[in-house]
Amino acid sequence: MSNIFLDELSKKIGNKGVIDKEIIHLIESKLQIKSDLVLGTLERGITKYIYKPSNRVLWIALGIEKEHLIYPKLYCSCRDFYKEVVINRNRKFCKHIVAQAASVSLNEFDYVELEDEEFEMRIKELKSEF
């Protein structure tokens, strides 16, 4: 599945304002990701960090044991992304990328604004988790 499909799915979620049975079916059938994993990620939380004044953005998904850095529609630092997307090429996205897209469509994510000086420290924290 391509980024176009994820864009269409995000639009559909935004129009409906909810993740219903139709959305769940699309996630499971087209993206081959268990919807309960995406919903669990949404429940744990997605956070958008904006660093000022540069306006750098970090998207973070709270995992079960650690945080995962997300570049929307492109990359996630989780093991599943590395294994299923990078190595095995079984799919294009992991549950965190789908959850991040859904959280934007639903406008249901945490927003944290920080100073640029804190960016480097945050990146080091995330690297230590990898």
| pLDDT tens-digit map of 11-64 | 999 999 999 999 999 999 988 899 999 999 999 999 999 999 999 999 999 988
Q: How far apart are CA 10 and CA 98, in angstroms?
A: 9
Q: How far apart are CA 2 and CA 92, in angstroms?
A: 7
Q: Tell me the two tokens of residue 4.
A: 């176009």
Q: CB within 8 A of 3, min separation 6: which ones?
A: 73, 92
pLDDT at residue 65, rounded to an integer: 87
**Reported pTM:** 0.92
Q: How far apart are CA 39 and CA 42, in angstroms?
A: 5
What 8-state DSSP symbol labels residue 112? E
Give pLDDT tens digits for 73-100: 999 999 999 999 999 999 999 999 999 9
